[in-house]
Structure 1
Amino acid sequence: MEPTVSPELTAATAARYRLRSQRLVPRTDDQTTVSNLLTAVSGIQAQEKPAAALGVRARSSTLTKADLERALYEERSVVRTWCIRGALHLVAASDLALLLPIFGSTFVSRGPEPKRLEAMGLDEAAIDRAMEVIRDALREEGPLTREEIARVLRESGVGVDSESQAPYHLVRRAALLGILCEVAPKEGQTAYDLLDEWVQFDDPPDRQDALVELARRYLRAFQPASMDDFAAWSGLYVRDVKLAWGLVADETTEVTVDGTQAAMLTDDLEAYESATKPTNSTDSRGAADAADRVRLVPGYDSYLLGYEKENRPIPREHESRVWPGAGIIRPTLVVDGHVTGTWRLDRSRATTAAVVDPFEPFDPDLEVPLRDEVEDVGRFLDIEIELRFVD
């Protein structure tokens, strides 16, 4: 029997596939809800609310900021909480049964947070007591802001300095444990309430089944990707990463991206090849039209964070312009799947502007689709926006 030969993908083809996996090309239409979109892309990182909202915009031609807020606070079909990598994400409420048991149990103890809390005078006994106080307070008084939670903790004998980061870390832990989640703002402040009173979701699956489903969903949202990419995106322990990746292996096909091994779900590979097939031998961009070549992607976007560092679509020489330090990840200009600049919203003038800072002189042929992107940001936010380039 002839040995199976892995399909070989160029970097350009892999970029087209990844754009498609993240629903950045083509963007979804008016039949997609916010919750369905979030399930399809395995959540959107949401440490900054405005950036997370614009992540929805980048993947939908019809959803608006008002749709997102309605899904969050009226329908409750979407939740902003800590889960993947222990970080804040927008996720479908129906996916919490899958995500929280996996990531909550991992990130309650993983990372620097336990030592930070200990340095603030909170040992494990004090933290456990804090969890009980938070649960009881929300049951009796919720929803509560972080400042109100800090007050209740102090009144209950848990030594918490409201000026420190202790309340934040305790709220995060309570979210990872499935005690609370973020709910509608209270007098303009971020508020929290009991998770099981805010949303309803199914019982969690068996952990092994959950890990397999997580790997499957990751691939569907980021393929082609490697096990190392999955590890970077999830932040899970190596044993869990290897178990999940191994158990989903019979559903995947190995591919190579410029000689580097990756994988795709076998059922999706043929569909991707058909959907992104070049229209002729000279068209290196595939079937995507000019409008799909340009995307204004927000800061902290999953498109950048879904892969290990070596596989991120950012030129090494310009990486510091996207990651300047202090945990900041700037909004990016993406052309044909590769980061070619940064951008920001400037609200200092009468008309808000999208200020674009390309790494290299911008291709004039792409100015029309870029202006269309800027106009679409305005559609999503329901404001007028103009395009400006950094000199």
Structure 2
Amino acid sequence: MNILHIRLLNQQLVSSRFTDVHDLVAWMGMVQAQEYKMMRWAVGMRLREPSMSAFREAYDAGRIVRTHLFRCTWQLVAAEDLGWMLPLCAERNKVSIRGYLAYHGRRIEEREYERANRLICDALSGEKSVRKEILLARLAECGLEDDAHTMSIYLRRAEADGIICSGELDSRQNTYALVEERIPRLRELRRDEAIAELARRYFRSHSPATLEDFVWWSNLGVGECRAAIESICSELISESYAGETYFIHRDCRVRGYRRQTILLPSYDEYLIGYKSRHHAFEEEFRHRIHNRNGLFYPVILDDGQVVGNWHPGKDAAFFEEAIQPDLTDAFRRYRQFWNSDR
């Protein structure tokens, strides 16, 4: 079993099956989206033909949305999936928010969140999309004003409460809209059904992966994750490798891999989507891939292995002189993606 080759196929990084942005994001379950610009390439490079204009169209139409979900980090999801995904992670996100505030010697009472939510609703009501700076200015006019970190907490809590999500795509900063106005039909599921569906999405798009990988990705309890895997066991094939049990979904591809050099954005699912990401790089280069604070850098993949770093407009920096693949086609695809929006 070649773990990296199969992951590349099912993450749609090689020989993608998808031409539609919404369908790709729905297949992935969620796509990590910490960096507002690089999230576009994270989706675009997984399409059969990279297209920034296609990404913008899906984002502006509200077919995909960006919000804080699992692990209380930014993710892109298919709009209709927000209704069943948010209840899975909302309470854990609220705990994370309280912990962040406590670490900085702050506390926000529930009545303050309730007031903030009302003001946020008033500021966004009837608006298709509002840039963050304008939203914060409107809130300040209503008496809700604090330091930048605390205001971001109010917005993150409103996301956890299912009140706001992303609006239209802006070139520079986050935008916000009311969920009830942005997404007219949210799909709802019972919790056990939702976790089973989440497991299905994960193992379809991330196989081969372990129970521990799914726990990391979802930030749900081990017991719930194990139960979810058991509930879809008829859809999974288990294989032992180096003392670990890996699951492969029946809808996954295990053949059709072709070698390709890929410019991977920071925080990409190919690395951050697993606890077992050690398959993709040598330990001595870990500091070139992510730091101890969880900051992931843009990296170069060659045959599934991380071999260097890259930055738009700058030269690549390879880890070893002996492994320096030709990046001509990789940068061509990257430029083609951005040029499609002009």
What is the TM-score when the length of structure 1 is the normalising length?
0.79
The number of equivalent residue pairs is 340
Letter in 2 for 1:263: F
Question: Among 187, 190, 193, which residue is 2:174 paired with?
Answer: 190
1:378 aligns to what? Answer: 335
User: Aligned pair in 2 of structure 1 residues 85, 212: CA closer, same or farther (>3 Å)?
Assistant: same
2:118 aligns to what? Answer: 132
1:336 aligns to what? Answer: 303
Within 5 A, what are the aligned runs for 1:1-391?
A: 9=1, 13-28=2-17, 32-73=19-60, 75-110=61-96, 113=99, 115-116=101-102, 119-139=105-125, 143-158=129-144, 160-161=145-146, 163-184=147-168, 189-265=173-249, 267-268=250-251, 271-272=253-254, 275-276=255-256, 288=258, 292-309=259-276, 311=278, 313-346=280-313, 353=314, 355-363=315-323, 366-367=325-326, 370-382=327-339
Is the 2:123–2:139 contact (alpha carbons within 8 Å) kept by the matching residues of 1? no
Is the 2:69–2:90 contact (alpha carbons within 8 Å) kept by the matching residues of 1? yes
Identity %: 27
Secondary structure of the 1:361 match is coil
Q: In 1, Cα distance between the equivalents of 2:82 and 2:211? A: 23
Is the 1:83–1:100 contact (alpha carbons within 8 Å) kept by the matching residues of 2? yes
Is the 1:117–1:123 contact (alpha carbons within 8 Å) kept by the matching residues of 2? no
Is the 2:165–2:179 contact (alpha carbons within 8 Å) kept by the matching residues of 1? yes
Q: In 2, Cα distance between the equivalents of 1:68 and 1:217? A: 21
Secondary structure of the 2:112 match is helix
Note the C-alpha offset of 1:136: 2.8
Note the C-alpha offset of 1:117: 9.2
Letter in 2 for 1:226: T
Note the alpha carbon deviations across 1:199-239, whole angstroms, 9 max, x for none: 22333111110110101110011111111000111112334
Q: In 2, Cα distance between the equivalents of 1:317 and 1:232? A: 23
Q: In 1, Cα distance between the equivalents of 2:284 and 2:311? A: 20
Higher relative contact order (CA 8 A, sep 6+): 2
Note the C-alpha offset of 1:116: 4.5
Note the C-alpha offset of 1:119: 3.4
Note the C-alpha offset of 1:20: 1.0
Secondary structure of the 2:95 match is coil
Is the 1:27–1:58 contact (alpha carbons within 8 Å) kept by the matching residues of 2? no
Computing the radius of gyration over CA atoms, which structure comes out larger, 1 or 2? 1
Letter in 2 for 1:335: D
Is the 2:213–2:274 contact (alpha carbons within 8 Å) kept by the matching residues of 1? yes
Note the C-alpha offset of 1:294: 1.4
Higher strand fraction: Structure 1 or Structure 2?
1
Note the alpha carbon deviations across 1:257-309, whole angstroms, 9 max, x for none: 233211112x236x52xx24xxxxxxxxxx52xxx331111111011011115
Note the C-alpha offset of 1:112: 5.1
User: Aligned pair in 2 of structure 1 residues 68, 335: CA closer, same or farther (>3 Å)?
Assistant: same
What is the TM-score when the length of structure 2 is the normalising length?
0.89
Note the C-alpha offset of 1:333: 0.8
Note the alpha carbon deviations across 1:49-93, whole angstroms, 9 max, x for none: 2211111232124131121111111x2211111113221112221
Is the 2:67–2:166 contact (alpha carbons within 8 Å) kept by the matching residues of 1? yes
Q: In 1, Cα distance between the equivalents of 2:121 and 2:305? A: 45
Letter in 2 for 1:19: L
